[in-house]
Structure 1
């Protein structure tokens, strides 16, 4: 969120190259802070490294159909989310709304709805189970996408907020589910989590780029259609996961 908020005003003043430079500088500062401020590990037991060990761990992390579905949920959900946010700036700065880059970047404050959505999803998952909450998050995201088709700026922002909350419900449940499922299935939790993150950012890269093409060829309805297909796919995978047996922890 900070990166998206920072680039708008900087791009308004000095152009997009300086905006990217500002994000790079921010990342460098964060890296330095983490290097010096992150506490040392405790109670960590390293495992033997090696190609065969890594391949064996990866093979096991790819053998569980539930884990595979969770990787897919992360990839599709993140892809739908990033596709919308990547194209959103183009729509808000178009003649329809006429916002400056700095003003358009303020819309990214709705990322805070994601924190709220994740917290609520955690409580609901504790009460009703992950299998019930994940599909509901996909439905919420789809509802938010539909609202963004409105021509009113207030409705667009409200729809983006709903979609953001829905996405973080899906992502929060899926990402927390991965290590639990891995542990129950005898899979290295770290390996499973790394594969989830790989799929997550692969979806961001591929479908985030596709969102730009959708905007170029079909405008905002094209972006909404692409994102709806992706969130729909994540919802279908969530429903399929509900039918798989629960492993004893």
Structure 2
């Protein structure tokens, strides 16, 4: 069995949403920004689906799947000329999504936003608005805390982002709990960090788990540049802002 990293497609979205929900169920930031007594899983699924649809065209959105030589042999074998056999092979090749990563590409500060990018952002906002209307609310999302985080994030990035070429921003990385420990997370990182190394561009991420995530990311070249404290009354959430400098391949 082997793990392959491939770009997200629309038919991968249900598995991608499930993977994200499972991976972030106990995440400190998720528990801080959502009210568990009001959380609506289906509404959250629809919101994530809208984000995935946006990500297919506007982000570096990848999924990790498990493949086998048996699947490849079946697909490429003599039976592949039979329409029914081809359909069966296609279904077999549609493997479960084990991991997900979404990266925002670097955007130089001196380059204005394109009309296409503006339209895509508007389209995402419109889809999210329709979701809010359909479910009569945000499904447990504490919007005050969300905007506290966005303000603190902007403050942190203004303080530590000093490269005019921009940064590859790891917006999401998630691995199903039952698939962890197989190197899937590293593969989801390397598909972009290898590209960043070739281009000489830095990478950025935020983690709400000091243990074990920060040490894992350090092993992949990231370093903590700033601790971001999001405080709402007596409740708070700390996120660690990490940057990775490009590595020169030997």
TM-score interval for Structure 1 and Structure 2 normalised by the shorter chain: under 0.3
Q: Structure 1 or 2: larger helix share?
A: 1
Tell me which protein shows more strand as a share of its residues: 2
